[in-house]
Structure 1
Amino acid sequence: MLRKKYFHVALQIIFCYCLLINLTSCAPDERASTDADLLKLDLKTANASGEKVNHYYGTTRPFGKGVVRSVVTLDSEDNPVAMGVIFSEKALLHPGTEDVNITLDLHPKARGMVVDHIDFGYHPHGHAGPGFMKEHFDFHFYWITEEEKLSIPFIIDNGPAADLPPAQYWPEGYVYDPVTVPQMGRHWITEEQAASEEFDETFIYGSYNSEFTFYEPMITMEYLTAGNFESSYPITSLEGYAIPGYYANSYEIKFDPVKKQYSIMLTNMTWKE
């Protein structure tokens, strides 16, 4: 039996409260219109074969002293190459002392992809979990609609969990949380992270109602600002996929010193049956 960790019990209380206070955090202001043209990836980006790719952006949202937005990168045949979140360096200045969750829409070009929308989360005091009481960011890439996400109730398993995805789909080396966080889902973390009290970056899966429902890179503020990133971070693939589509095999954390912006990107997208 896999060992389970109650690492989001406190988070379910915090998240419900923060969802209410942060509905206003997505309201546009002058920063969104002023910085939107600056918050872009290099248009000369090419894929591994050297083919030109195109970037398509979601609505720009204010955060801290800067802005944040989603981006989807497609090849010349509109196949997904990468997708993620970009935010200005100024976004890390004075982000506040309260938890924030901003739902980022995707460009219409992303319609039909596995990821439906992205939640950009900021936790200045961290939250419950093995090493997670640090200031950090959550990047939830949801495979379900926002309406479906918001309908998820709080569930805690007192016995064997009844709503897990089929065991043959589980990612190798991951354990699941017995708590289903409301308006989010059940979290799966690596066995290594579950046994640790340290954390700088990690990759989480989410599930609800017997299906996997999100990707989640989670990164500390300290790790972001230090800037000592690896070229790429591998993603342990699921052993099977309920919905055919393009899924990521890795993700990247980058900082552009010229444009003064960060990017958190799912990369190496490949078709999975």
Structure 2
Amino acid sequence: MSERSERHIGLSRRMFSLVAVLALALTAAVLPGSGRATAVASPNRGHLVTMCLAPKAFPSFEHTVRVPAFLVATLLRTTASYRGPCAAYGESAPRGDGRLTAYSQQEHGKPAAIGVVLPTSTLRGLPHDPPTDGKWCYDKNGDGTVDPMMECANGYGSVLDLDGSFRRDVETPFKYLMIDWNPHGHGPPNVYDRPHFDAHFYLQADASRRAIRPGPCPELVNCEDFELGKKLPAAKYRPSDFEDLDAQSPGMGNHLIDRTGPEFHGKPFTHTFIYGTWDRDVTFYEPMITEQYLDELADGTRDDACVPIKQAEAFQQSGWYPTRYCMRHRDNRDEITISLEGFVHRAAS
């Protein structure tokens, strides 16, 4: 089959799927019952919203469209569609019984979301022992062997580039993600020592990140590098609630922790936000979310949530920056998203 014929067949299939999805949605919208009454009574039935249309049978056939607001609930119930423009998918890696895939959503150069999407199968079959993948280790006691329980850091990590066109065309410093699964959690003790995912959204170049070496200083960081991690950005570039607690890691950098978070005031850790820094620069944004929280999203015992990100007074690079992080379960696709959203354009100062 010629390349031209394959393109024609692919286009025909996509057009067919789009027509089928719209027909299904319109049919469902006029069926008798509460759905029809809601549609007719809706004061916003003429308002158009952006959605990514996808049929259940072929969820990868995605099409960005504008639809009347009253159709949104029907589309989410009857198809594999989701809110906002269709995602551009970046790199993907296996984890558990599923995968982790970087994604981005944008319209006319403004990001709507960047994040990681994972089928709920990813939460099954996760590794637990040893507690890390062994990529960041150091023989701290000098006995000639590496103890995987005490002399390795960073859990099980996956570095995922965002889509190339997004990285090229959207003015934002965020270019890639690093998603770490920590089966035993990490310090501080009795705070973050629950199984959880760290979702790092990096502003720092990957080569610079990887150059942060393991060694004998706190959290298994090379001592020279540890001193670089202690050089914090100017106060105006970091919210005042975020403190340096020496929570450094090789291949990551320093983690500034918000001591006003509920997990430091008698509440169990479920999710939180961390600012990453290295050698006077803000280097990553990081939501941390427990395995239990994601399980509860998946089984419906916990609702989707978006949480405001405390903002700095100034920014080191110009571009689009998020104002909230979100955790969602797409019931119609049986997948979870962890994302940064609510982007606002900031000028460097």
> Which TM-score bucket, shorter chain as reference?
0.7 to 0.9
Query: Which structure has the bigger radius of gyration?
Result: 2
Shift of the 259–178 alpha-carbon distance from structure 1 to 2, 3 Å rule, reads: same
Give distance in 1, aligned partners of 2:327 and 2:66.
16
**CA distance in 1 between partners of 2:342 and 2:198 (Å):** 21
* Residues 1:85 and 1:41: Cα distance change in structure 2 (over 3 Å): farther
CA contact (8 A) 1:244 1:272 kept: yes
Aligned twin of 2:98 = 66
Give 1:146's aligned amino acid: D
Native 8 Å contact 1:175 1:190 kept in 2: yes
Q: Aligned match of 1:87 in 118, 123, 146?
A: 118
Q: Cα deviation per residue 1:77-99 (whole Å; 9 max; x = unaligned)?
A: 12212110000000011111143
AA of the residue aligned to 1:145: A
Report the CA distance shift for 1:201/1:40 in structure 2 as closer, same or farther (over 3 A): farther
Matching of residue 117 in structure 1 with residue 176 in structure 2 = yes
Q: Gapped runs of 5+ residues in structure 1?
A: 1-36
Question: For the Cα contact (< 8 Å) 1:39–1:87, is it kept in 2?
Answer: no
SS in 1 for 2:276: strand
Q: Match for 1:176 among 233, 239, 244?
A: 244
CA distance, structure 2, for counterparts of residue 264 and residue 40 of structure 1 = 22
Output the CA distance in 1 between the equivalents of 2:231 and 2:314. 17
Instruction: Determine if contact 1:117/1:142 at 8 Å carries over to the other structure.
Output: yes
Give RMSD over aligned pairs. Answer: 3.0
Q: Which has the higher helix share?
A: 2
| 3-state SS, counterpart of residue 127 of structure 1 | coil
Distance 1:181 1:60 in 2: 24
C-alpha distance in 2, partners of 1:86/1:71?
7
Distance 1:168 1:101 in 2: 31
1:78 correspondence with 2:109: yes
TM-score for the superposition, normalised by structure 2? 0.61
For residues 162 and 100 of structure 1, do their structure 2 counterparts lie closer, same or farther at Cα, with a shift above 3 Å needed? Answer: closer
TM (norm. structure 1) is 0.77
Match of 2:163 among 107, 118, 121: 107
- Contact 1:207 1:213 survives alignment (8 Å): yes
* d(CA) in 1 for partners of 2:62, 2:181: 23
Q: Which runs of 4+ in 1 moved over 6 A?
A: 39-42, 156-159
SS of corresponding position for 1:72: strand
> d(CA) in 2 for partners of 1:265 and 1:40?
22
| Number of residue-to-residue matches in the alignment | 234
Query: Which residue is equivalent to 2:292?
Result: 222
Provide, for residues 136-164 of structure 1, a one-character-per-residue CA deviation record: whole Å limited to 9, x for no partner: 000000101211100124266999x8511
Judge conservation of contact 2:257–2:275 (CA < 8 Å) in 1. Answer: yes
Residue ranges of structure 2 left out of the alignment (5+ in a row):
1-57, 73-82, 132-154, 214-220
- Letter in structure 2 aligned against 1:180: Q
After superposition, what is the alpha-carbon deviation per residue over 1:59-114, rounded to whole angstroms, capped at 9, x for unaligned?
23211111110111110x12212110000000011111143101111111222531
Which residue in the other structure is 1:151 paired with? 211
Alignment of 1:186-205 (within 5 A): 186-193=254-261, 195-196=264-265, 198-205=268-275
Kept after mapping to 1: 8 A contact 2:186/2:194: yes
Q: CA deviation at 1:177?
A: 2.3
Structure of greater relative contact order (alpha carbons < 8 Å, 6+ residues apart): 1
Contact in 1 for aligned 2:105/2:114 (Cα 8 Å): yes
